[in-house]
A and B are shown apart, each in its own frame.
Chain A
Amino acid sequence: MIGRIFYWPEIRRIFAQWAGVVLASVLAGVLLGMLEMGGANEKMALEISLPAGFILAAILWNLIGHRFAVTIVRYAVAGAATTVEFQGERGMPLPTAAFATAAALVVSVYCIQAGPVSQHHASPTVSCILPAA
């Protein structure tokens, strides 16, 4: 039961952090489009918008991590000989990052390998309206 109590803030923090990364990506895409409409060529627009998106994503990640940080709480487990200390995390804990990124990279490699087929079936109507490269 105690584990569930401490687990909910962790879910909120993780979900909010990834939502912040997606928000930063959207803003970077908007900046990319504005630069292209303003007359900048595609290479220059990418060189400006993507680093801006990365920086904004990192800032949001840390800000949200501190906003949803879990404080240090000591609690006793019934039947246990010692008192267990729960150390709240600030930012992404190390093993979590390892497992999450490894899993994400495996999925990414799989998606890249199956890229042309899945991309063809993914959004035919959207790709039809795009201007020719």
Chain B
Amino acid sequence: MSAAIDIMRVARPRASPGWGTAVVGICLLFACAAPLGLNGYGLYLLTLTEIFVLVALGLNLLTGYAGQISLCHASFFGVGAYATAILTQKAGLPYLLSLLLGAFLTTAIGALAAVPALRLKNIYLAIATLGFGVVLQKITFEWRSLTGGGGGLALTPPSIAGYELGAVGLYYLTLILMTAGLFGAWNVSRGRTGRALLIIKDGEIAAGSLGIHASRYKVTAFAISAFYAAIAGGLFAYLVRYINPESFSVGLSISFLSMVVIGGLGTIGGSILGAIFYVIVPELLRGIKDAPGLVFGLLLVIVMVFMPQGLWGMLRRLGRRS
């Protein structure tokens, strides 16, 4: 029932390029102009937000659309970061090429992670993916000759076609990739795959009887999702310029999942809002003495109790009422 409503909503052709397009245009305009008005730290935060938006978009496709919980996205993020860094620093490949190769590698790993997922549901799936993440993190930790182990990897700024990519350059690259990612997620979610995933979430048997190959679509969802996480990881590695296996822990996976749920499951706007919430709110709370964790946790609880459909769901309800 709910799947039917979602599909109607998703597949409904837009009559005219109205409000939505205007808002997106204005946001993009502001995003393009942002480096003019922000100091270094502000720019760092904005880039980080965009990177998290990419992860959240991918994860939302998997969790919000296909209904599959993943607690190993931090390790996809990490594999993307390490693969990009190693290919660029040690193999001497161009940055963009290694970003792409890293993403393909992670996509393959993501498809592999989907194999146990085919028969598992809910909390069982959560624990299996969590285990997968722990194993990946451990491998990065112990493969010292390649990854530097617990000491981590320090990175030098990358260059594209001879132009060294500083903070501003990386910001624009992230912005371009995030916009492409948004466009991709928008198309996937409205198209055949997105609709198939929505039905799978509601009932695999129903999906099967409609001729939807549930296993194949689940693997696809995991793979796309891992691709997004890996691209984000490759950008993240060069944003912070130092990566360490500890950064890609279960805790980060849980944060990614919270981003998606806080923002709004199964919506693209939700992925954006969730990522913003997760980066900006802790920043605002840093000034509060003693208890940034306390306030952040309280906010998390309050948002969920008063907006079970997430921030985006709340906005949409307000929009409909007015």
Q: Do A and B come together as binding partners?
A: no
**Which B residues have a C-beta under 8 Å from some C-beta of A?**
none
**Which A residues have a C-beta under 8 Å from some C-beta of B?**
none
